[in-house]
Amino acid sequence: MVRVLLFASLRQATGKNSILLQTDPHAGLSVTDIIRRLGLEGERVVVAINGVVCDRETMARGEDEVALMPVFSGG
């Protein structure tokens, strides 16, 4: 299972702090698939798998931890 951690407005959008997603341990799920499953397609997000920032084509497998955060800006 892949554990998805949600932050800020994404947490509010889903009503959850984290979600466990069932996945094939060999095939995994792409970040795009995870975002789709959570209904967050329209959101701009930064993604990290196991603490490493990645793109939407990166695959999450097995016991990976995926963090989804809204894009932050400031100055």
Residue 65 sits in a domain of what CATH number? 3.10.20.30
- Give the dihedral sign, CA 52/53/55/60: positive
Domain count, the chain: 1
pLDDT of the residue at 20: 97
Please indicate, yes or no, if residue 61 is contained in any of the structural domains: yes
| 6-55 per-position pLDDT tens digit | 999 999 999 999 999 998 878 899 999 999 999 999 889 999 999 999 99
Please indicate, yes or no, if residue 63 is contained in any of the structural domains: yes
pLDDT of the residue at 75: 64
Please indicate, yes or no, if residue 13 is contained in any of the structural domains: yes
Count other C-beta atoms under 10 Å from residue 23's C-beta: 19
Q: Which is it for strands 59-60 and 29-30: parallel, antiparallel or unpaired?
A: antiparallel
pLDDT-based confidence at 72, cuts 50/70/90?
confident
Please indicate, yes or no, if residue 25 is contained in any of the structural domains: yes
Please indicate, yes or no, if residue 24 is contained in any of the structural domains: yes
Q: What is the pTM of this model?
A: 0.91
What is the domain extent for residue 13?
2-70
Please indicate, yes or no, if residue 75 is contained in any of the structural domains: no
HEC letters along the chain: CEEEEECHHHHHHHCCCEEEECCCCCCCEEHHHHHHHCCCCCCCEEEEECCEEECCCCEECCCCEEEEEECCCCC
